[in-house]
Amino acid sequence: MARTITEEEKSVASTLLAKARAAMQEIESYDQERVDRLCRAVAWATANIETATKLANMSVDESGMGGRQPTRRAKVMGILRDALRQKSMGVIEEIPEKGITKYGKPAGVVAALIPVTSPYVTPAGMAIYAIKCKDAVIFCPHPASKKTTNETVRVMRAALKKLGCPEDILQCVEAPSIPLSQEIMSICDVTMATGGQAMVRSAYSSGKPALGVGAGNATMVFDETADIEIAARNTRISKTNDNGSGCSADGNLIVEDSIYDAFLAQLQKEGGYLVNDAEKALLQAAYWDAEGHRTPKTIARSADAVAKVAGFAIPEDKTFFIVPEEHIGKEYLFSTEKLGVVLSIIRYKGWPMALDKVRQIFETGGRGHSCGIYSWNDEHIHELALMAPVSRMMIRQVQSSSNAGTFTNGMPMTSSMGCGYWGGNSTNENVSLKHYMNVTWVSRPIAEDRPSDEELFGEFNNSEIF
């Protein structure tokens, strides 16, 4: 049974909120140039190679999850790029033909729920967007990675202090708990919830506005036109980045029969380990408990570490698992979200079967999140886009990074991806700068724009009433 919040925790929450509101008042008069400078400082404080490496190592040492390479620093750089290219105060957009002028204003104090799988990049990105809008943020870290998140916030606070900005624009809970996080969400102005479904549901029930993310089950389709070498390389990059900790990492590969064998062989050249039936059973027992819940000991762990847990050995050059699968459904666990270095591979014959496999996958889990396709057939791409119940679809790209924006696509840079009504979320967009501000729409009169009855009702105009 969940415990209730203590009086001490209530005091902590109210103190954090009071400091945040006071800090917001201090920066109320900051202009765009000064705010942009703060964004640059915070980004540099976390994304410089020395600090990014330190935080990546700290994260692995603390939680055991993810990788030690500071590859995710690129996400901070991309978020900074997007933030600097937009206005966030005063007039942010004008639409003369509609007589509309939009004014950007702070959203307020943001409660930021941070996942165990991204304890330093997610807070850094949130901080950039929030500071750009002159919001304050109270970070609620996951208990299993609280030291890393607190250190990330400490580094950013030091950068703010050096520039004469009140540090309390960014604060972090030192002793996190579910009751304390719930209290903070209930008293802040808006919650940004990046993490598991229980966290997101809690945010939505806080009584305040919340933007949450949905579960992933990224599914990739490979038709007969796919470039096998590039597709296999990208799959390996996506699957092994931070040991598959991201919800965008390839989870299910749906491969056309004519290229299946060649693609499977290429995946193995890229470091994939093809499990046999006995190893598949051992891997499933390691990845999921008897109730079908993911086991913490295998989430975002390296392939060799997972193999040891499962009870078999793999060669040193193998970095991810390939699991042949013939069935799809909640009872076939390899067709569900994995959050690790294992992926299922499913054969199809004929394009209609591919679309049906995609449908089955998303009926199983991951509706609203994402899919991708390796194809040069525009009709296939179009038909998949028409039917897939997802908020984002990547074409011939590294799924794990591309979903959240890269320097080679136009997706807004973020660490938080909404899954729309499919995934039980209030947005299907990449959560970015626009979500951290309030907007005042100013409307001026324009020439009358009233269509005629004939134009509006068409064939039904002056017809008999139904």
pLDDT at 202: 80
Q: CA nearest 337: which of 248, 254, 270?
A: 248
Helix (H) / strand (E) element for 26: namely helix 7-26
User: How many C-beta atoms lie closer than 10 Å to residue 99's C-beta?
Assistant: 13
User: How many C-beta atoms lie closer than 10 Å to residue 69's C-beta?
Assistant: 13
Catalytic residue among 172, 247, 371, 419: 247
Q: Are 62 and 145 in contact (CB under 8 A)?
A: yes
pLDDT in tens, 374-427: 999 999 999 999 999 999 999 999 999 999 999 999 999 998 999 999 998 889
Q: How far apart are CA 147 and CA 396, in angstroms?
A: 37
Q: How far apart are CA 195 and CA 76, in angstroms?
A: 18
Tell me the residue type at 328. I
Q: How far apart are CA 184 and CA 292, in angstroms?
A: 32
Give how far the C-alpha of residue 28 lies from the chain's centroid of Cα atoms, to the nearest Å.
30
In this structure, what are the phi and psi dihedrals at residue 285, rounded to the nearest 5 degrees? -65, -30
pLDDT in tens, 134-154: 999 999 999 999 999 999 999
- Which tokens go with 133? 């809008």
pLDDT at 278: 97
**Across-strand partners of 345?**
253, 324
Clarify whether 419 is annotated catalytic: no
If you ran DSSP here, which 8-state letter would residue 356 be given?
A: H
If you ran DSSP here, which 8-state letter would residue 353 be given?
A: H
- Which tokens go with 358? 């995609």
Measuring CA to CA, how many Å separate 395 from each of 40, 258, 365, 389, 398? 31, 20, 21, 16, 9
Q: How far apart are CA 359 and CA 378, in angstroms?
A: 20
Q: Is 73 helix (H, G, I), strand (E, B) or coil?
A: helix
- Which tokens go with 364? 């199983």
Give how far the C-alpha of residue 158 lies from the chain's centroid of Cα atoms, to the nearest Å.
27
What domains appear along the chain, each with residue ranges and CATH number?
A: 10-213+429-442 (3.40.605.10), 219-400 (3.40.309.10)
Q: Are 334 and 342 in contact (CB under 8 A)?
A: yes
pLDDT at 7: 94
Measuring CA to CA, how many Å separate 187 from each of 12, 114, 129, 144? 12, 18, 21, 24
pLDDT at 465: 76
Q: Are 131 and 42 in contact (CB under 8 A)?
A: yes
Averages of pLDDT over each 10 residues, the chain, 466 residues: 86 98 98 98 97 95 88 92 97 98 98 93 97 98 96 98 98 95 96 79 84 90 98 96 89 98 98 97 95 90 95 96 96 94 97 98 95 98 98 96 94 93 92 97 97 94 82
pLDDT at 197: 72
pLDDT in tens, 199-244: 777 888 888 989 988 888 999 999 999 999 999 999 999 999 989 8
Mean pLDDT taken over the chain = 95
